[in-house]
């Protein structure tokens, strides 16, 4: 019989191996899934794991999708490590996109390139504002931040719909619910010709370094970690739990808002009801698969981006529904949660 035995110390090796094993299990279940659906499993794996990296263009598309995931997940890592459960990054992402669009829509033919930093700052402030509502309700009324932040996602979606169906609708847009296409001066500068990768990728990589330094090399970051690991110890040390709450939510909200701004003024170029793409929710998985560690999150963001692209390709190549992306994301998260058992326990055979 299989038996779980507590390890004397959590295994550091399994801390790293668990995400890899989870990925392997996801692949195995994926193969079974393809076979059951009557698709060629080898072809299926190719679509998910080879096509997204087989050419420079494919790689650049991978980066385009990975960038917002990475930025949002970095913010969430700070938040989750502080024991603050912001589930509403999708809403903060949307409000960031709306604030950024508001600035972008003011541009005309005479606008200078200063508009770009203004758009980015507006996006960050938008995300912070939306997360700040959650922080305020939690701080003042002890409202549960999981529920509040999640419900605010749906409020944010309605705000977006109101704007694109109402005041911000493009008068020349044949009554489609969307704003006019932003002026080209508002386009986030691209890194190279012929691909959609923009400076957002550089901002994301700078964010990796910044979050790493903040969490592991500064006293303020240490305070956040202690508040998450042992609230009574944080109180004993004198770290304010209110301050930690606000830092956590404003950081993750600001990051999500930044991702929204980069997306709406980058690849999308206008505000439509299709801006919410689930990045805010997928980033939760990215953050956990990446062990809430900035470097780990880089890898998990790329992986999750593969699932997005693979899911899109699976529609055209294999005739599978788009929800296959969600299936893979869910499989990975569940496999990871199961594999994490091995960090604290070991398996023993016994008669």
Q: Supply the minimum distance, in Å, between the C-beta of residue 213 and other proteins.
A: 9
Q: Supply the minimum distance, in Å, between the C-beta of residue 319 and other proteins.
A: 48
Give the H/E segment covering residue 52: none
Q: Supply the minimum distance, in Å, between the C-beta of residue 234 and other proteins.
A: 8
Q: Supply the minimum distance, in Å, between the C-beta of residue 125 and other proteins.
A: 24
Task: Output 6 or 172, the one with its CB closest to other proteins.
Answer: 6
305-324 b/e (C-beta count within 10 Å ≥ 16 → b): bbbbbbbbbbbeebebeeeb
Task: Output 338 or 344, the one with its CB closest to other proteins.
Answer: 344
Task: Output 12 or 192, the one with its CB closest to other proteins.
Answer: 12
Q: Supply the minimum distance, in Å, between the C-beta of residue 323 and other proteins.
A: 38
Residues 6+ apart with CB under 8 A from 34: 40, 41, 43, 44, 45, 318
DSSP string of 117-161, one letter each residue: HHHHHHHHHHHHHHHHHHHHHHHHH---HHHHHHHHHHHHHHHHH
Residue 290 burial (CB < 10 Å; 0-12/13-18/19+)?
Answer: buried
Task: Output 5 or 40, the one with its CB closest to other proteins.
Answer: 5
Tokens representing residue 343 in the block: 């960090």
- Residues in contact with other proteins by CB under 8 A are 5-9, 216-220, 222, 225-226, 229-230, 232-233, 235-238, 240
Task: Output 187 or 241, the one with its CB closest to other proteins.
Answer: 241
* CB 155, CB 143: distance < 8 Å: no
Q: Supply the minimum distance, in Å, between the C-beta of residue 136 and other proteins.
A: 22
Task: Output 188 or 245, the one with its CB closest to other proteins.
Answer: 245
Q: Supply the minimum distance, in Å, between the C-beta of residue 236 and other proteins.
A: 5
DSSP string of 271-292, one letter each residue: --TT---SHHHHHHHHHHHTTT
Tokens representing residue 336 in the block: 């990871």
Task: Output 8 or 167, the one with its CB closest to other proteins.
Answer: 8
Tokens representing residue 104 in the block: 């972008």
- Distance, in Å, from the CA atom of 246 to the CA atom of 239, rounded to the nearest integer, reads 13
Residues 6+ apart with CB under 8 A from 111: 183, 185, 186
Task: Output 70 or 248, the one with its CB closest to other proteins.
Answer: 248
Q: Supply the minimum distance, in Å, between the C-beta of residue 330 and other proteins.
A: 28
Q: Considering Cα of 199, then 217, then 125, then 255, what sign does the dihedral take?
A: positive
């Amino acid at each position: 019989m299989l038996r779980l035995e507590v390890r004397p110390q959590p295994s550091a090796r399994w801390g790293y191996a668990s995400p890899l094993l989870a990925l392997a299990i996801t692949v195995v279940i994926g193969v079974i899934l393809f076979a059951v659906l009557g698709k060629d499993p080898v072809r299926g794996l190719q679509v998910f794991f080879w096509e997204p990296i087989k050419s420079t263009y494919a790689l650049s598309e991978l980066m385009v999708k990975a960038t917002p995931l990475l930025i949002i997940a970095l913010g969430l890592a700070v938040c989750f490590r502080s024991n603050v459960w912001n589930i509403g990054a999708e809403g903060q992402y949307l409000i960031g996109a709306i604030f950024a669009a508001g600035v972008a829509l003011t541009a005309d033919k005479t606008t200078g390139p200063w508009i770009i930093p203004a758009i980015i700052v507006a996006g960050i402030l938008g995300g912070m504002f939306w997360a700040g509502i959650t922080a305020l309700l939690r701080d003042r009324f002890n409202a549960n931040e999981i529920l509040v932040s999640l419900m605010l996602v749906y409020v944010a979606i309605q705000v977006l719909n109101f704007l694109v169906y109402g005041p911000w609708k493009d008068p020349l847009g044949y009554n489609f619910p969307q704003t006019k296409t932003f002026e080209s001066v508002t386009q986030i500068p691209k890194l190279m010709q012929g691909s959609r990768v923009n400076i957002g990728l550089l901002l994301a990589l700078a964010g990796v370094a910044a979050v790493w330094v903040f969490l592991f090399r500064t006293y303020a970051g240490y305070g956040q970690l202690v508040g998450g690991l042992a609230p009574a110890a944080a109180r004993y040390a004198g770290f304010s739990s209110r301050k930690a709450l606000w830092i956590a939510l404003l950081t993750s909200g600001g990051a999500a808002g930044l991702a929204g701004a980069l997306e709406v003024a980058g690849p999308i170029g206008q505000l439509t009801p299709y801006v919410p793409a689930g990045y805010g929710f997928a980033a939760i998985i990215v953050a956990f698969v990446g062990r809430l560690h900035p470097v780990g999150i880089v890898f998990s963001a790329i992986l999750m981006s593969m699932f997005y692209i693979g899911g899109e390709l699976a529609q055209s190549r294999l005739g599978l529904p788009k929800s296959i992306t969600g299936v893979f994301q869910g499989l990975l998260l569940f496999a990871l949660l199961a594999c994490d058992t091995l960090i604290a326990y070991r398996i023993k055979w016994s008669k």
